[in-house]
A = this chain, B = another copy of it.
Amino acid sequence: MTDTVVRPKKPAMNKRTPAGGAPTAAHTAAEAHEARIDIPAVTDLLLGTWAATRREAREMIKDPVFWRVEGQPMAEHRERTLSQLRLLAEKGASGRAYPKEYGGQANDGANLAGFEELVLADPSMQIKGGVQWGLFGSAIHQLGTAQHHEAWLRDVMNMDLPGAFAMTEMGHGSDVAALGTTATYDAATEEFVIHTPFRAATKEYLGNAALHGRAATVFAQLITGGVNYGVHCFFVPIRDENGQNLPGITSEDDGVKGGLNGIDNGRLAFDHVRIPRFNLLNRYGDVAADGTYSSDIASPGRRFFTMLGALVQGRVSLDGASTTATALALHIAITYGNQRRQFDSGAGTEEVVLLDYGKHQRRLLPRLAQTYAQFFSHDELLRKFDGVFGGTHDTPAEREDLETLAAALKPLSTWNALDTIQEAREACGGAGFIAENRFTGLRSDLDVYVTFEGDNNVLLQLVGKRLLSDFAKQFKGADAAKLAKFALGQTAGKIFHGAGLRQFGQAVADLGSTARSVELGLRADQQHELLAGRVEQMVSDIAGAVRPASKLPAADAAALFNEHQTELIEAARAHGQLLQWEAFTDGVNAIEDDDTRQVLIWLRDLFGLHLIENHLAWYLINGRLSTQRAAAVSRYIDRLGARLRPHAQDLVDAFGFEPEHVRAPIALGGERERQDEARAYFAARAEAGDAPVSEKSLKKK
């Protein structure tokens, strides 16, 4: 740890000359005599609105007690994670979102920001904390009322009451409305009877269910007076103080998982378990003592989605945690790629630094650009979340936008985490596979992020449906001529304005930098036109294709939608990418320092062009790019890679990770030390004149 390249405080510290010989390319901005980013300023930018809380969390987790122990057996890891949660509670890191009267800060944005950073220490701790305070506790907080807060929130916060969030069942994951568990009201005793009527209704994959949970927030079909009022949430005690199951409760252990083995996931089944009427979390629906059901929300469908929407924070936090974990992987791989040498170039005796290889740049730099985009879009998501949950912008429309935005961004960032962590691991070769270098543990733990808190493909379908319904709204009251024009596909682009989250063409109002990136006619506004135009046309095309469904029998209509399911998901993905691009662009435009802005514009361009390259066939088929322009995209990306290469280290240093967050030996200077030692050895042999000559050189004579 002698050569910590992590987070230089001043630009001057960032000046590095590769030891020995001339480099094959400029490795730093200084060498390239180029614009340089102001690293601390970029760190501030990336840490975003709640930077102070993030710094506080990062400082706290410098303590090794919070670090993942690679290879730790499951039973020990579970106990360690439990003790870490108690420690988080002690340190006041458990409930920044909760009301001040229970020791919280009533600060939703800061709460998630702080939690997201825990992924750097151990994702098991992050997710078990999420189960306890973000799901179990949040269900009480968001779905319950003051009496429930008073009864349980203090104990939830301080870990005296560890709990499980019992929504998913063996038979139903994403389709929550179809859950099998029942909660039948018995007016005679003023109790609900919680019951698992068949094996498939067993609650499944619940953190805290196998061992540590004392209670659970159980989602069940509320039945009273012979009527099923749909899924509601109930507080159900499951274990006594000695950890023994209460009567009627059966728990099972999910055992070893692909990752997150610090969490005791398991199953819960209920055999006519009776709980007091009080235990219905009754913010959105209540049952009177006589069994009469009441709710402020008349529509069963809207009530159901309101309850689910109250739990959106899990998705929001996964978007942030994935982005932070991805940044860590890139920090490690790029730092190593900037030091590790392999093969001489044929041009001399000095071996080439990995990051000088064209392919290596192609592997890592577009993913770096993607990660930067995510930091900006996540901060936007978090601000929207804070506005809605903090009450400053809490309208039904804002809530709906928040849910759509979370559903659009969480899939992209969680998939990108797996993709980028894996590419980073491969870019480090065998060293990347050794657990101490972090990649394999991060990847295993984050694997399930793509299917929990909403399966990514299911979430993207929700976004796609929202895009379709927004599209349909454009036609409300439209006259026949307008519809006819649409049918011809001539004006679809003009009348469609997307998911209502941001008006296309307005977000990028003042770029202030158009002169710099005129190259090849792929400037910011043209990138935006291409990205936004694709979303518009895809949605318009799908809408046209499924329009006959309204006149078909249900089975045929379902089949028609099913034929376009893949395209709908793809349109939603394109929409999410557009939002990321817009957030990145807004963020870049706000930068005052010219040099920093210049470099980040190159990075934003790399992000935008990489998205366009990934869908180049679509642009060609739809006549949005000429073949000449299309062919130029890849060449431009290669040039941007070469241009950004001297800034790569600065850009990952700007993530602001310190050695206690990085921990990977390959990114803490060991590789460079070994190279220096080897070089010194050969130099000494040459000086002493006792180096063997090569057979080849003899043959030449």
Contacts and interface: CB of A to CB of B under 8 A. Distances in A.
A699 interface: yes
A1 interface: no
B254 A434 contact: yes
Contacts of A348: 554-555
Nearest to A460: B359
A438 to B, nearest CB: 10
Given A199-B674, A617-B620, 8 more contacts: A71-B256, A168-B430, A171-B675, A172-B342, A227-B692, A255-B436, A358-B564, A620-B630
Contacts of A678: 171, 180, 198-201
A460 B97 CA distance: 52
A44 interface: no
Contact of A451 (B172, B257, B433): B433
Contacts of A699: 300
Nearest to A615: B617
A359 B565 contact: yes
Contact of A563 (B197, B346, B358, B452): B358
Interface stretch (A2-10, A32-40, A269-277, A418-426): A418-426
Contact of A448 (B229, B343, B433, B617): B433
Contacts of A368: none
A344 B562 CA distance: 12
Q: Which of A443, A553, A566, A693 has the most B CB atoms < 10 Å from its CB?
A: A566
Copy number in the complex reads 2
7 contacts: A171-B674, A197-B681, A199-B677, A230-B695, A258-B443, A259-B433, A300-B696
Contacts of A558: 24, 345-347
Chain A binding surface, main DSSP class: helix
A356 interface: yes
A-B pairs, top 8 by smallest CB distance, nearest first, are: A258-B440, A71-B256, A616-B617, A347-B555, A345-B558, A256-B435, A200-B674, A228-B692
A444 interface: yes
A235 B437 CA distance: 32
A126 B554 CA distance: 52
A627 interface: yes
A161 interface: no
A627 B622 CA distance: 8
B435 A440 contact: no
A49 interface: no
Contact of A693 (B228, B258, B450, B638): B228
Interface string A316-359: 00000000000000000000000000111111100100001111
A440 B674 contact: no
A261 B440 CA distance: 12
A395 to B, nearest CB: 26
A74 interface: yes
A433 B693 contact: no
A271 to B, nearest CB: 14
Nearest to A340: B171
Nearest to A256: B71
B434 A227 contact: no
Contacts of A137: none
Interface string A228-250: 11100000000000000000000
Interface in A159-190: 168, 170-175, 178, 180
Contact of A562 (B221, B300, B356, B429): B356
Contacts of A630: 617, 620-621
A223 B692 contact: yes
Contacts of A171: 674-675, 678
A454 to B, nearest CB: 11
A109 interface: no
A432 interface: yes
A681 B196 CA distance: 11
B429 A675 contact: no
A565 B357 contact: yes
Contacts of A73: 71, 73
A26 to B, nearest CB: 13
A226 interface: yes
A105 interface: no
A355 to B, nearest CB: 12
Given A347-B558, A430-B448, A617-B620, A695 B228 contact: yes
A457 interface: yes
A573 to B, nearest CB: 12
A698 interface: yes
B255 A434 contact: yes
A694 interface: yes
